[in-house]
Each structure stands twice: as structure tokens, then as C-alpha cells.
Amino acid sequence: MQISKSFKRLIYWQLGIPVALLSIGIYHGLMQTVYRAGVLRQSAFAKLDYYQGLTLHGVINAVVLTTFFAVAFGHATIAYYFKREPNKKVSWLSFWLMVIGTGLAAWAMLSGKASVLYTFYPPLKGHPFFYLGAALLIVGSWLPLFDWARMYVQWKKNNEQVKTPLAVIGTLVNFIIWFVCTLAVAYEVLVLLLPWAMGWKPTVNVTLARTLFWFFGHALVYFWLLPAYIMFYTILPKIAGGKLFSDLAGRIALFLFLLFSVPVGVHHQFSDPSITKGIKLFQGLLTYGVAIPSFITAFTIAASLEYAGRRNGSKGLLGFFRKLPYLDKDRYLFAYLICGLFLFIFGGLTGLVNASAQLNNVVHNTAWLPGHFHMTVAGPVFLAIIGMSTYLYSTMSGKKIFLPRINVIIPYLWTIGVLIFSTGLSWGGLIGEPRRTNLGMTYLNPQHELFTPEWVPTTLLALVGGIIMFTAGVLFFVVFFGTMLKAKKEEGKLELPVSEALHDEERIPLFDKFKPWLVTMVFILVIAYTPALIDAVKNNGAGAPRFTPDNPVPVTTESTLSNNK
């Protein structure tokens, strides 16, 4: 499909800006493993503090990269399937809001005024620009949804009896989840945190802020995941040489995410005393509900891969695994997606451990947690993002991939790194190694009285994994920016591989409409969150004053105002 220059430019910027920022994010990832293994025994390196680096790492990799990419991929998907470009003014306005928001937050983090990590839990106080930046980034990313919804309604009017393409359902589901969950964090930021950070309100209700954050926070992980799921269902079977096993299975999985992605946030608060047990049990059960669409995906995609392998000439029960295009440099997206799926088996299983309130007592706030989430967000999500960024750029610009052999090896190298890294973290977590801690200052410093030798092998494993991941990350930059610098070889176009369905079931109206799912979503949300919010307001204890990470004494109003200048 041919697209306008303006639309191309928009997508290039939306892919290029976060990838450029990723260089900072990935560097600080490596530095985490270096500090934690005790190679560095200091609180800062190159004038950047440990928590400042960890904040940059989390915010850039998990929030900025993922949000920019979701919008860029959403634009590409909607335009490709509807054969029409989204509204230019809305798209560029959304882009600029996101860029300004990112700029404000980046300034606050780089100047050391917002070392509050990506969860920005109060009573740690960040600079108001950090919160304002986050709010603008979010509001900017909302705008395309309204435009895509308008395009969908128009398309549906002319195609009433035609099944909505799966990729369009996935994109709309994803951004509806995003819109709903970000309402809570927008309230947290604008009503609770900003006035408090400005010094206009002396204290904040920490439990309420955390509850609103996690209303957003777990749905956020599915906002990261769904672009990858869209690729698994609509692109992977085709490039594997086969077909999607069942179109209906994909629809059911995507709509189930609409129901279960948001009302599970309390599973991050199993240890928060203010929320009562019944709510924890209920949201814990719903958490097992949100694993169902992933199990559906596992079986459907495995069946699709089996079909592809057999079509490619495989024999025997598991022979199909050997007939897939693992190292085909022309179908390199396969490598990125299959590696993500493989990592997600372990990411998913560790998630199920977290979801049990009893087991959660053992792993909460330990290194097990980053072990889990590097096999999810740094697994299928990250690999899908970087693979698709290279793909979109190269096909839209008409440029050939720079170093195609390296390009196809990157995901395997990354996967080996993540497996070693997450093994170290998960093992360490089970023997008490804390997360978010500069271990080199104390526990991993043999000269310190707190030295804990059990954590030497675990943190060393994480260091080795971190170095391999960093190497894969650098190779990705070489391929991505190298491709940018190449000369154009052909007319660029927007082209996405589209998988046919092996079982293309008849259109069932329930799985082609949003209304019934939206009503059920609201119903479950009200049941799951009304008591949690009542608890958060009722059992909040004393309000918390402002703290900065470097000082156990609260900040006074005067010093807050001067800090903010």
C-alpha cells in the first residue's frame, strides 16, 4: 500500500525517537547488573546515581519505548487494514504531546530531580515536570484511539456482515484497555501527586496512590504485550509458511483481555496492609482469569506452527520444530517472534507463581520479580518491538537491511542473555536477594559486615546475562541505524504479512462487537475495584509528607519550592 510522505515521516519519528532513547535505557540496564554484582561499590557512576539510572532504565524501556511503538504500530495496522490513513492533524498533535511529555520527564530524570523509579510511589517525590511529562505522554497516546474508532465505525457501516480483521480488533482492544487504565493514573498524577509535589498539599494518601497506580500498572503490561500478540496471530503463521490455526480463538483471546487486564492490579498489593483479604482473593482469582487468553494463544500458535512445519515437509510428532525458518534472513521477523514466545513460556509460568498470594509472600520485592518481567516485557514484548521497528522502517523506506545475517542472530543472542540473566535473578530471589537495591554498596561487598556470599553466583549470572543482552542491544542499534543510513533501493510501501486462517469460522456477532464486552468490563471493574478503593480511602493511616531518595527527613514546603525551580 502506498502512503503519504507525512504519514511515513510520522511513523519514522515514532520509531526512531524511542529507539534512540533506548541507548540510554539499555546502558543503565547493563549498569544495574554491574552495581548489583559488586563490581562497582559506589552510589553513582559517571555522575549518574544508581536510582537515577534505574529510573531512566525503567521509564525509557518500559514506558516510553512501548508507548511510542504501540501508537506507531497501531497507525500502521489500522492504515494497512482499512486502506486509509488516519487523520493527519490528530496524529501529529498526538505525536507532539508525546514528545513534549517525554522531553519534560527526561529532563527531570537526567537532572537527578526525579529518581523515583517507573512506579513513582509516594512518599518519594519527583519534580513536577516528571509527573506533567508522564501525563502528556499518556494523553498524547490516547488521541489516535478516537480517530481509529471513527475509522472503524465508518468501515463497519459499509461492511456490516464482514468480520473485523483480527489485527484491528487487537489494536482497538489494546487502546481501550490503555484508555481505561490510564484514567486512574491520570487522576493519581494530576489530583494527588502534582499538588503534593508542588508543595500545595502537605501530605498524600500513599495507599490510594498505590491502588490507583496498580489499577493502571497491571493493565499496562497487557498494553505492552498486545502488539506482540497481534503479530503472533496475524503475522507469525504466514512467515512460518502456514496459516493461523483458528481465527475465532484469536478473537476470544483478545476480547478476554478486555475483561481481565484491568481488575487484577491488587495482586501487586498482596503485602499492602490497608487492603482486606477478600479483595486480594478476588483479584488473585481474576489474575488466573487473565492467564486464560495466554493459554489459548499458546495452544493456537503452537498448532499454527505445527501446521507450518508440516507444510514445509516435516515428519513425525515433533518434527515440525525442525522445519521452521529460524535463521532465514529474509523472514527475520520469525526469529524475533519465536524467541519471544519461547521466553514467554517461562515469563508466564513465573507470573502464575506471583499470582498466588501465598507464594507471593516468598517472592514479593525480591530479585525474582525482575527475573519474571525480563522474560515478559524484555522477552516477547521487546523482541517484537525491535523486530517490527526494523521491519517497518525498512519496508516503508524501501531500504535493504544492513547486516541481514546479524539481524537474524540478534534475537537468539538476546534470548540467551535473558535466560542467563533471569535465571540469576530468579534463583537469587528465592534465596532472599532484594530487587531495586544497589547490592555492591553492602551485600556484595566482601569488606562490608552485611556481605552475603550466597548472592555472589546469582548476581554473577545476572551480570553475564546482562553483558550478553547489552551486546545484542548494541548490534540492534547497528542494524537499525545502519539501515537508516543505507541508500534507497526501491519504492517504499506499507506492507504487513497477513496470515490466512486454517479454520476461518463463520462470523459470530458476539465476537465482532465491542459493546457487550465493554459493558461486562465495566461491571467486573466496579465489583473488583469499588471495595479496594473504599479500603484505600478508609484505611490510609497518616498522610505522608514528601521525601527525596537521598534523605530520611521529609522535604519542607520552602525547600520543595526551591527544588522545583
Q: Is the Cβ of residue 45 or residue 295 nearer to ligand HAS in the bound state?
A: 295
Instruction: Please give the helix or strand (H or E) that residue 58 lies within, else none.
Output: helix 50-58
Q: Which residue is nearest to ligand HAS (CB)?
A: 348
Does position 294 interact with ligand HAS (CB under 6 A)? The reply is yes
Which is catalytic among the residues 36, 75, 210, 218?
A: 218
CA nearest neighbour of 190 among 135, 119, 124, 116: 135
Does position 373 interact with ligand HAS (CB under 6 A)? The reply is yes
Q: Residue 118 carries which DSSP code? A: T
Residue 107 CA, chain-centre distance (Å), reads 22
308 makes contact with ligand HAS (CB under 6 A): no
- Contacts of ligand HAS in 331-350 (CB under 6 A): 338, 341-342, 344-345, 348
Residue 435 annotated among the catalytic residues of the structure: yes
Contact window for ligand HAS (CB under 6 A) among 96-104, 292-300, 476-484, 504-512: 292-300
- The overall longest dimension of the chain from CA atoms, in Å, is 75
The CA dihedral of 242, 248, 253, 256, to the nearest 10 degrees, is 170
User: Which lies closer to ligand HAS via its Cβ, residue 7 or residue 382?
Assistant: 382
Q: Which residue among 20, 190, 285, 302 contacts ligand HAS (CB under 6 A)?
A: 302
Catalytic status, residue 374: yes
Per-residue binding string, ligand HAS, 225-254, x by CB under 6 A, is: x-----------------------------
* 544 strand-pairing partners: 204
What is the closest distance, in whole angstroms, from the C-beta atom of residue 207 to ligand HAS in the complex? 16
Q: Which long-range contacts (CB under 8 A, 24 or more apart) does 159-167 make?
A: 161/507, 162/507, 163/247, 163/507, 163/512, 164/512, 165/81, 165/234, 166/230, 166/233, 166/234, 166/244, 166/247, 166/250, 166/251, 166/254, 167/77, 167/80, 167/81, 167/230, 167/233, 167/234, 167/496
SS3 at position 514: coil
**In the Cβ-directed half-sphere of 242, how many Cα atoms lie within 13 Å?**
32
**Is 295 a binder of ligand HAS (CB under 6 A)?**
yes
Q: How big, in percent rounded to 5, are the helix, strand and coil portions of the chain?
A: 70, 5, 25
The stretch near ligand HAS (CB under 6 A) out of 2-10, 137-145, 239-247, 374-382 is 374-382
Is 218 a known active-site residue?
yes
| C-alpha–C-alpha distance, residues 174 and 239, integer Å | 24
Which are the contacts of 169, defined by CB distance < 8 A and separation ≥ 6? 251, 254, 255
Catalytic residue among 75, 251, 267, 372: 372
Site for ligand HAS in 95-124 (CB under 6 A): 119
User: Cis ω on the peptide bond leading into residue 531 (within 30° of 0)?
Assistant: no
Instruction: For residue 359, state whether it binds ligand HAS (rule: CB under 6 A).
Output: no
- For the bound state, the minimum distance from the C-beta of residue 297 to ligand HAS, rounded and expressed in Å, comes to 4
Q: Cβ 425 to ligand HAS, closest distance in Å?
A: 12
- Asked if 210 interacts with ligand HAS (CB under 6 A), we say no
Shortest reach from residue 212's CB to ligand HAS, in Å: 15
Angle at CA of residue 284, ends 283 and 286, nearest 5° = 60
DSSP assignment, residue 506?
A: P
Minimum Å gap between C-beta 131 and ligand HAS is 18
Supply the minimum distance, in Å, between the C-beta of residue 380 and ligand HAS. Answer: 7
The reply to whether 364 belongs to the active site is no
Between 76 and 377, CB nearer to ligand HAS: 377
- List residues with catalytic annotation: 218, 222, 372-374, 435-436
| Footprint on this chain of ligand HAS (rule: CB under 6 A) | 119, 221, 224-225, 267-268, 287, 290-291, 294-295, 297-298, 301-302, 338, 341-342, 344-345, 348, 351-352, 354-355, 360, 364, 369, 372-373, 376-377, 381
